[in-house]
Chain A
Amino acid sequence: MTTFVWLLPFFPAAGAAINGLFGIRWFSRGVTAAIACVSMLVSLALAIAGGVNAARAPIAREVFLGEWIPPIPAVTLKGAAAFHASWVLLIDPLAAVMALVVTGIGFLIHLYSTAYMRSEPRGSYARFFCYLNLFCAFMLLLVLGGNFIVMFVGWEGVGLCSYLLIGFWYHKGSAANAGRKAFIVNRIGDWGFLVGIMAAFFAFGTLDFQAVAAQAGRWPIERAQFGGLSIICLLLFVGAAGKSAQIPLYVWLPDAMEGPTPVSALIHAATMVTAGVYIVARNAVLFSHAPLVLAIIAIVGALTALMAASIAIVQTDIKRVLAYSTISQLGLMFLAAGVGAVSAAVFHLVTHAFFKALLFLGSGAVIHAMAGEQDLRRMGGLKRYLPVTFVTMVVGALAIAGIPPLAGFFSKDEILLQTFGRNRALWVLASITSLLTAFYMFRLIAFTFYGTDEPSSPHPPHEAPGTMTVPLMILAIGTIVVGFMGIPRTLGGANAIEHFLAPSIAETRAVAFLKVAGQPDPPGTQEMIAQAREELERDRAAHRAAFPVSEATEGRAWALMLLSTLLGATGMAAAWRFYVNHPEVPRRAAERWSGVHALLLNKYYVDDLYDATIVRGTFGAARELWRVDLRLIDGFVNAWGVTTRVLAWMSHMIDKVGVDGAVNAAGWSAGEGSFLVRRGQTGLVQNYALVIILGLFGFLTVYLLAR
């Protein structure tokens, strides 16, 4: 399996190439959809094989595919070195988990899209699947990349596909603008990310993930001062904040909802936006040596989570509610990563991918049924018409609200538990967030599916076709069961996901080996695997010894679990009371606290602030520079032009008056001087004859007289 890991991104890329080159012009919808879905299905099978393989041997395997950038002389902290990059893929438990999420959810969303995008024109349909497949290829390259450079190719590639898919309906001005906004905001993050990569190369002399982790592990932990590692980590986090929509770079994600709903589900909820969390998890060793940056990450994550959740409770667009929910959940993931619970962050990433994809696809089915209507206030009473969507969305909402035994409960509880152990203030923020989460999710459910008023749609709403409901059902089942891989020890579980991910995150990591694609394992592989297992077991034992499961910690874990469940239930109950039983309460509350309501409805005026400062500032600066161009540079060029014209005019006048004048004067004087002679030339033959005769007589006379 390891050798063929490159086939994972290859199949979606091939699907994208076929659909892009030939599908847009020639293929029918069926052929296009079949190519796209089969390519994802093959990748999914390969990812499952890779996951099984990773579970069996807990080591990181690097697969060398080929050289890319030849060595370039460079200077690093340790003196002269050579910068070079090669195509290296890394498959370890973390990459396997990510690849499974990308291919699994990706396949289901491809399947869903075949029906959802049915009303598109044929060429547009193929274009959609081309972009979607290309996205999966780049996302797999991102999660499988063995060094920063390969990962960065995927990182930028998913950004490109995100831009293309947000602006998929490019003839709609708002969609095109949203695509641009996403791209530009991500550019800001990517600037930090790229500088971070350069700084990492300067510090370590290598960009290979394994080597960077090994080197960073030998550096002292920067507890007090903000040193080199902290700078690298902070810059990388700038990139992660851009991609994963954290404060202050989150503004693009709500606007990204202009794209088709499957895109929102795949890219802007389940996969691409989690790349920032992934990159923190991938460099867990590096980040763990910069506790100050981890603190920043935790604070930013907690604030983002709370802020986005508070905005979500007043939004009226079904997809925007989910978008802010995504930002909020991503904030929780960063909070987990920031407090050092990297495996909890990845666990929440996985469960979130399931239930958020489910919720987005469910909202897509609702929008489909409402003939494109996205405003929650115009929905209501859809429970009767969309039974499958209703049940599955309620499962997703229960999961995100943290109700046991659904997936969200386990992952969110793990985050809350770990945060509680680290910082109470952050734990309070996270707890308020989970209360708000339950509230806004059930507000959405109440608005959509309950209520007495008939939906204001031209024709009665209808359940989506099977290709759309089957992915919903599969995701709902996934949402129920995926949490079971992270049942904490308190509940008698094994927390399997944490153990599975440990080799990718632990500092004393298992030995990695470089392998050339197509070659058998190098000698000694089995010994290395055995040694890695031993090391991991030792680590685990040491961890258990350091954090014994005492009565006190057990009790605390139970209490926190109970509290978070209670919070979720409270949020649900409040939403139920406000939006189903007493629909007049929210309006009264909005009137009573109109200031707060306006603040939330206008998203804390952050977009307006950015518009007033950065956007206007950029435009103003551009306009000023344009003026400089116009006045100074154009003025110089124009002055030069005028000078040339004046000189040319003078030259022209010399030619015209001086030279032409002389020539004309010669001609004129010849013409005017000949006025006497001209009289003789009458043109009449007889005059000439007369002159000839007279001449003859004259000569004869002279001859005769002179003889």
Chain B
Amino acid sequence: MHLYPITAYHYLVLAAALFALGATGVMLRRNIIILFMSIELMLNAVNLNLVAFSRLNGHVVGQVFALFIVAVAAAEAVVGLGILLAFYRNKETLNIDEVNLLRG
């Protein structure tokens, strides 16, 4: 079996696919939890790019940056789930369409 070397191109396609998947989820799904999961997907798509370029270019900065993003994502999940809980207690639903307080 002939093995092709994995190039930056592969990583970029995979990351773009993941990002597109996450963005689509964010825009189309109604459940807020799913929304969060989609956001995680987008973040991790970016992480994949960072880690890939770090490996290909021999720079460790990308990996450090990825770790930061993981930490920030965790914090974001905490705050987001807190908001989610508060929202659920008020509206007894998780439908994102119900959140329209800023409508002009």
Contact = CB atoms under 8 A, between A and B. Distances in A.
A683 B103 CA distance: 4
Interface stretch (A104-112, A396-404, A407-415, A685-693): A685-693
Contact of A690 (B27, B96, B99): B27
B83 to A, nearest CB: 11
A686 B35 CA distance: 9
Interface string A204-238: 00000000000000000000000000000000000
B26 A681 contact: no
B87 to A, nearest CB: 11
A683 B96 contact: no
B100 A684 contact: yes
Interface stretch (A493-501, A538-546, A575-583, A672-680): A672-680
Contacts of A683: 99-104
Nearest to A677: B104
Nearest to B24: A693
B23 interface: yes
Contacts of A690: 27
Contact of B27 (A674, A677, A678, A686): A686
Interface in A645-693: 674, 677-686, 689-690, 693
A686 to B, nearest CB: 5
Contacts of B96: 684-686
B92 interface: no
A684 B97 contact: yes
Contact of A689 (B27, B99, B103): B27
B2 to A, nearest CB: 33
A689 B26 contact: yes
A680 B99 CA distance: 15
Nearest to A687: B27
| Interface size of A as a range | 10 to 19
Contacts of A679: 104
Nearest to B102: A683
A679 B96 CA distance: 19
B99 to A, nearest CB: 6
A463 B23 CA distance: 122
A107 B64 CA distance: 121
B70 to A, nearest CB: 22
A689 B96 CA distance: 12
Nearest to A686: B27
A680 B103 CA distance: 9
Contacts of A685: 35, 96, 99
B103 A681 contact: yes
Contact of B23 (A681, A682, A693): A693
A689 B25 CA distance: 11
Contacts of A682: 100, 103-104
A686 B30 CA distance: 9
Nearest to A679: B104
Interface string B3-39: 0000000000000000000010011100000010000
A209 B37 CA distance: 121
Contacts of B103: 681-684
A451 to B, nearest CB: 104
Interface string A556-587: 00000000000000000000000000000000
A325 B39 CA distance: 121
Contacts of A674: 104
A679 B100 CA distance: 13
Interface in B41-90: none
Nearest to B32: A685
A686 B104 contact: no
Nearest to B97: A684
B27 A680 contact: no
Contacts of A684: 96-97, 99-100, 103
A332 B33 CA distance: 122
Nearest to A694: B27
A677 B96 CA distance: 23
A680 B100 contact: no
Interface of A: 674, 677-686, 689-690, 693
23 contacts: A677-B104, A680-B104, A681-B103, A682-B103, A682-B104, A683-B99, A683-B100, A683-B103, A684-B96, A684-B99, A684-B100, A684-B103, A685-B96, A685-B99, A686-B26, A686-B27, A686-B96, A689-B23, A689-B26, A689-B27, A690-B27, A693-B23, A693-B27
Interface of B: 23, 26-28, 35, 96-97, 99-104
The 6 closest A-B pairs by CB, nearest first: A681-B104, A683-B103, A683-B100, A678-B104, A683-B102, A689-B26
Given A685-B99, A686-B26, A686-B96, 11 more contacts: A679-B104, A680-B104, A681-B103, A681-B104, A682-B100, A682-B103, A682-B104, A683-B101, A684-B100, A689-B23, A689-B27
